[in-house]
Structure 1
Amino acid sequence: MANWRKHHIRVLAIVDGVAVVWAMSGALVLRFGTKSGMDWIDADERPYLAITLILSAIWWCMLGLWGSRDTTILGYGPEEYKRLISASFWLFGLIATVSYVFQLDTARGYIAIALPAGIISLLMARMLVRSYLRSQRRAGSSSSSILIIGGPHGVEHLTRALRSHPMAGYRPIASYIPGAQFDTSLNVDPDLPILGSDPSAASIIDAIDRSRPDAVALSSGVPLPPRVIRELGWALADMQVKMIMAPALTDVAGPRIHTQPVAGLPLIHVSTPNLGSGQRILKRAFDLAGAIFLVVLLSPILLAVIAIVRFDSPGPVFFTQERVGNRGVHFKMFKFRSMVVDAEARLDALRAQSEGNGVMFKLKADPRITRAGRFLRRYSLDELPQLFNVLNGTMSLVGPRPPLPSEVELYQSHVRRRLMVRPGLTGLWQVSGRSLLSWDDTVRLDLYYVENWSVPGDIAILLKTFRAVLARQGAY
C-alpha cells in the first residue's frame, strides 16, 4: 500500500475518533449536566460515562467495518458519506433493538442528541479531510498510479476521463495496447508512454513489473482472451497491485448498476431510468418542502434584492421570460431584472458577439446588464424568484436548465430527452462550470441527471450549488 494511503487512513481514524468522542461527550453533558464521573449514573444504576466510552468505541469500529475509510472512495463522490451515515444509523438501530429486547429504558434525550451531533461532526470532519486530500491531488500527489491496458480508443477514452477528474485520485502513468502496431500513439495524450503491444500474459506482467503501478485498469474492448485476463488477475494479486475493469458503460449512476455472477462471469445489469409516477410524486414533495423552506429562510434577502433593483434603474423589479418545461410545455420563468428594460429588443444586434456554446447566448461584457444586475448575476441572486416557479409546479429545485423556445428548435432528437423532467433552479450544469461548459458537456450532464435522478443526488447537488455560487465559477 502506498505511503499516502497508510497516512490518510491513520488521519481518518484519528479524526473519526475525535468527532465521535466529541459528539458523545457533548450528548452526555447536555443530557446529564457537568458532574463528576461517579454522578453520571441514572436512577436505574446505568453508568452513562462508561456507556458513552463503549458506544464511542463501537461507533468508531463500525465506521471501519462499513468501509468508510476505504481509500478507493475517499476524496471523490458521495460513497464515503453514504457509508458513514449508514454505519451510524445501523449503530443506533442496534441500540434501539437491544433496548427493546432487554427492556432497557435508555435515556431518549441522550440518544436524540448523540446521533445527529455525531453524524454532523463526522461529516464536517470528513469534509475538512477531503479538502486537504483534494489540495494534495491538485498538486499531483496522494493519487494512485494507473497502467491502462486496452485498445487504442479504449485507452484514449479512459485516459481522458481520468485526466479530466484528478480529484478521483487516479493518475495514468503508462499504457499497454495488446495487438497494436509499433508506431501506435494516443491522440489525447502523446506524453503517455506505451510499454508494449505483445498480447501474451508474460509480456504484460513484465511491463507491470517494470512500471510498478498501484493499479492496472483494463479499458473497454480490451483485445485479450478470458484466459489471459484470468492469468493477469492472478499475477496482480501476487504483486499486490489492484485490478480495475472499465466497461463501456458511460453516464450511468451506481444505483442503476447491479452485478450478478453466472457460471463465473460477472454479468452487469443496468436498470431502466427512474421516471415513473411514484418517483415524480416523491420529487414533487421534495421540491415543495424545499422551496417553502428556502422562501422563508431567504425572505430577508429577497426583500433586500427587491429594494436594490427598484432603486438601481427604472423598470419593473421582476423579469418574466417564456421557457420550455416538462414535456415541451411553455411557461413563464421569473427572475429579478438584471438588465435594462429593452434588453430583449437589443438581443439580435449582439448575437454575432455571443461567447456561448453555439446554442445558448452568453456574453461576459453584456452592455445590457445594469450595475445591480452584475452583482446579482455574480452570486446568482437574480435566479431566486424561480423558487415561486418551483411552488407553482413549472420548475423543480434540481433539474436541467430551462431552455428558450429558440434553443429547443435547434435541439437534435436525443437532446429532447432533457425535457422529460421539470427544469431546475440548479443542476449538474450549475455545479460543473455553468457558462464555461461546451454544449456537448451541458447536454451530457443534463441527460445523465434525467436518467439517474434520486433524492440523495438532488440533496448533493443543492449542497454543491452553495459552494459553486460562492466560487462564482462560470457565472456571468
Structure 2
Amino acid sequence: MDVLAAGLPIAAAFVEVHEPHPLRLAAASALLWPLIGVFSKRYTPLAWGDRGGLRAVIRDWLVLVGALATVRVVCGLDSVPAEAFTALIPALVLTAVCQKSIHRHLLAARRNARALRHVLVVGEAPTVDAVVEQLAQRTDHEYVVVGACPVGDGEMRSGVPEYVRLPGEAPESPETDALAVLTAADEIAADLVFVAPGRLMSGERMRRLSWALHDGGRSLMVLPGITDVARRRIRLTSAAGLTLLHIAPPLQRGSHTVAKSALDRAGALALILFFSPLLVLLALAVRLGSPGPVLYRQTRVGRHGKTFAMWKFRTMVVDADRLKSGLEAQNENDGHMFKMRRDPRVTPVGRILRRYSLDELPQLFNILFGHMSLVGPRPPLPEEVLKYNGVEMRRLSIKPGLTGLWQVSGRSDLSWRETVALDLRYVDNWSLAGDMNVMARTLRAVLDGQGAY
C-alpha cells in the first residue's frame, strides 16, 4: 500500500507536467517511503498499536519530501513543481488511514481478549496489586497479567497466581532471583516481565535480574510508578550511569493557554451563530413544555475555586432544588454527584434535551464570557467541592468544559472514581490536538445518548 501510495501519484504528476525521467522519480518515491518507515520502526507491532502513530507518519512524510528534494538537487533537476508536492499527499493520507484502521482493529481484538501479551510481574505485593488493578481498568492496551513473583512477605490481594516468592533481602547469589523468575516465566509462557523497583527490589538487584532475563531471551519492562502521563511529556536521559525520566509539566500557563482561551471564545461565538435558530426553537419548547423560566441559572465552581453562574435550558420543574433533599436516598452515583436515571423532577421536554445534551448549549455563553472552556472537566457544584480531597481538588486547576473525556466515555454511567480519573488525566495531559479529538468524539457520544439522564 505504501509503495503504490507514493509511486503512482508521483508518476502521474510528473507525466502530466512533462518532467524528465518521471518513472525514475516515481520509483525513488516508492522505494524511499517504505524505507523511511522501516528506519523509523513504523511497521513494528508496537507502532501499529500506538495512538500517537499519526505524528510518526507526518514526521516520516516530511522526511520523504526533504529526501526527494535532495535527490532532485543531486540529479541537477529544477526545483520541485507544485504538482509533485501535491502528489505526495496521498502517501500521507493513505498511510495515516491504514495506521488508524490497524489501531482500531487492535483495540477491538483486545476487547475480545485477543492480540494480548502475557505478563509476569515482579515486585512487592502491594505494587503487584496496584499494577494488576491499573491494567484491569482499561482494555486499550496489550498486556494481561497472568502471574506474579512477589518480593518479601506481603500478602497479595489481586488474585493473580503467585508462582514463586522472592526473598525480601537480595540473595548472595544473583542466580537465585534469575532462576526463580525464569522458571515462572517459562511455566506460564510469559511474553515479557514487568519489574517494579522498590525498597526490596533495589537498582542493583534489578540490574542483575535484567541481565539474566535478557540472557534467557525474555523482554523486560521497568515500571516507574507514575500513572496517566502522556508519552509526549516523558523524556529519557542519563547522568553518571543513572537512567533519568524527565517529566515535562502540564501545559497550564503560557502561550498554550492563551491559544486555548482564544480558540474557546472564537469557537463559542461561531457555534452560537450557527445554532441560533436551534436555540430559539429549544427556548420555545422549554417555555411551552412546562411552567417556569426558559433558562436555569446554577452556581458552579470554576478554575481555582472561583464560582460563576452557569446557564442551561431548564429541564426540571421549577422547585427541583427544594425537592432534591427528599430524593437523596435514591442517588445512584457512588461519589459526590447526585444522579438518578428516572428523576421525577425532569420534565418530558427535559428528558429529550438531556438525552442529546441540548440543555447544555447555553453554556456557550459561559465560554464566550471566559467562565468555561469548550473542553475540560465537568463543572462541579459548591457542595460537591466541599467534599473534595486533595486529589479531587486538582480538577479545579483548569477551567471546566462544555465537554470532556467524561462526556465521551460514558457520562453519568461512570463511577465517581472513573470520572475523577478521566478529569485528572485531562488536566495533566491536555493539548490543543487532544481538545480537537475530544470535540470530534463528542458528536458521536451526543447522538448515541448513552449515559445521559
TM-score (norm 2): 0.85
128-137 or 139-148: bigger deviation: 128-137
Cα deviation for residue 422 of structure 1 reads: 1.1
Q: Which residue matches 1:147?
A: 120
Secondary structure of the structure 1 residue equivalent to 2:310: strand
User: Residues 450 and 226 from structure 1, CA distance in 2 versus in 1: closer, same or farther, beyond 3 angstroms?
Assistant: closer
**Count of residues in Structure 1 that have an aligned counterpart in Structure 2:** 443
Q: Which residue matches 1:374?
A: 351
Secondary structure of the structure 2 residue equivalent to 1:333: strand
User: Residues 304 and 70 from structure 1, CA distance in 2 versus in 1: closer, same or farther, beyond 3 angstroms?
Assistant: farther
242-251 or 427-436: bigger deviation: 427-436
Cα deviation for residue 140 of structure 1 reads: 1.0
Q: Which residue matches 2:157?
A: 187
Q: Is the 8 A contact 2:195 2:222 kept in 1?
A: yes
Q: How does 1:320-469 map to 2 (within 5 A)?
A: 320-469=297-446
User: Residues 167 and 445 from structure 1, CA distance in 2 versus in 1: closer, same or farther, beyond 3 angstroms?
Assistant: closer
Q: Is the 8 A contact 1:400 1:449 kept in 2?
A: yes
**1: CA distance between counterparts of 2:38 and 2:270?**
35
Q: Which residue matches 1:106?
A: 80
Q: Which residue matches 1:66?
A: 40
**Given residue 193 of structure 1, which amino acid in structure 2 is its aligned partner?**
P
**Given residue 329 of structure 2, which amino acid in structure 1 is its aligned partner?**
A
Q: For 1:448-474, what per-residue CA distance to the aligned partner results, in whole angstroms no more than 9, with x for missing partners?
A: 322333222322332333343344443
Q: Is the 8 A contact 2:29 2:68 kept in 1?
A: no
**2: CA distance between counterparts of 1:462 and 1:96?**
37
Q: What percentage of residue pairs aligned between the two structures are identical?
A: 37
Q: For 1:274-303, what per-residue CA distance to the aligned partner results, in whole angstroms no more than 9, with x for missing partners?
A: 322333212213323443454456566556
Secondary structure of the structure 2 residue equivalent to 1:168: coil
Q: For 1:300-343, what per-residue CA distance to the aligned partner results, in whole angstroms no more than 9, with x for missing partners?
A: 65565455545544544433322121222222223233333433
Unaligned runs of 5+ in 1: 1-13, 33-38
Q: How does 1:223-302 map to 2 (within 5 A)?
A: 223-295=200-272, 302=279
Q: 1:91 aligns with which of 64, 79, 85?
A: 64
Q: Is the 8 A contact 1:154 1:220 kept in 2?
A: no
User: Residues 469 and 276 from structure 1, CA distance in 2 versus in 1: closer, same or farther, beyond 3 angstroms?
Assistant: same
Q: Which residue matches 1:198?
A: 166
Q: Which residue matches 1:7?
A: none
Unaligned runs of 5+ in 2: 168-175
Q: Which residue matches 2:15?
A: 40
Q: Is the 8 A contact 2:197 2:203 kept in 1?
A: no
Q: Which residue matches 1:169?
A: 142
Q: 2:129 aligns with which of 135, 156, 167?
A: 156
CA RMSD of aligned residues (A): 3.1
User: Residues 93 and 368 from structure 1, CA distance in 2 versus in 1: closer, same or farther, beyond 3 angstroms?
Assistant: farther
Q: Is the 8 A contact 2:268 2:364 kept in 1?
A: yes
Q: Which residue matches 1:6?
A: none
Q: Is the 8 A contact 1:339 1:370 kept in 2?
A: yes
User: Residues 448 and 350 from structure 1, CA distance in 2 versus in 1: closer, same or farther, beyond 3 angstroms?
Assistant: same
Cα deviation for residue 145 of structure 1 reads: 0.7
User: Residues 371 and 17 from structure 1, CA distance in 2 versus in 1: closer, same or farther, beyond 3 angstroms?
Assistant: farther
Q: Is the 8 A contact 1:257 1:268 kept in 2?
A: yes
Q: Is the 8 A contact 1:325 1:422 kept in 2?
A: yes
**Given residue 66 of structure 1, which amino acid in structure 2 is its aligned partner?**
S
